[in-house]
């Protein structure tokens, strides 16, 4: 399973829940034949590699734009994401948006913290 698929799936799940939709309701809202609760569940768990068309359909049904979907910073404090690699990937995506000086500062701070532990 791809970490990226898991990140996107988790973000879709969060947004769906924030909007108050069940998986069945979201599937209905897409209006797409073949989009079932189990299909949505597979996507949210990162178990299904979807097309960009399907992703666009889900974003339209949730009334969100790509910048909201791909803002993985909002995943950081979510219960249920305790897997070390996924947390590291989230932080990596956050650091990629920062300048070199900021990244170096974070690395130095993290190194100092780890040396003290």
Q: Which residue has the higher pLDDT, 66 or 32?
A: 66
Length of the chain as a residue count: 117
Which string of DSSP letters, residue by residue, matches the chain?
--HHHHHHHHHHHHHHHHTT--HHHHHHHHT-TT--HHHHHHHHTT-S---HHHHHHHHHHHT--HHHHT-GGGGTT-TT---HHHHHHHHHHHHHTS-HHHHHHHHHHHHHHHHH-
Is the pLDDT at 63 greater than 60? The verdict is yes
Quick one: pLDDT at residue 53? 92
- In whole angstroms, give the CA distance from residue 32 to residue 57: 8
Would the pTM count as exceeding 0.75? no
User: Would you say 69 and 8 are in contact if contact means Cβ atoms under 8 Å apart?
Assistant: yes
Quick one: pLDDT at residue 75? 61
Average pLDDT over all residues of the chain: 84
User: Would you say 94 and 72 are in contact if contact means Cβ atoms under 8 Å apart?
Assistant: yes
pLDDT band for position 10 (50/70/90)? confident
Rg of the chain, C-alpha, whole Å: 17
């Amino acid at each position: 399973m791809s970490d990226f698929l898991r990140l996107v799936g988790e973000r879709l799940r969060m947004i769906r829940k924030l909007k108050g939709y069940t998986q069945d309701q979201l599937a209905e809202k897409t209006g797409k034949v073949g989009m079932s609760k189990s299909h949505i569940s597979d996507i949210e768990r990162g178990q299904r590699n979807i097309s960009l068309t399907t992703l666009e359909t889900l974003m339209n049904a949730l009334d969100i734009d790509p910048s909201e979907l791909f803002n993985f910073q909002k995943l950081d404090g979510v219960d249920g994401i305790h897997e070390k690699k996924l947390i590291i990937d989230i932080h990596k995506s956050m650091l990629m948006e920062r300048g070199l000086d900021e990244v170096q500062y974070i690395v130095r701070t993290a190194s100092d913290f780890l040396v003290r532990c």
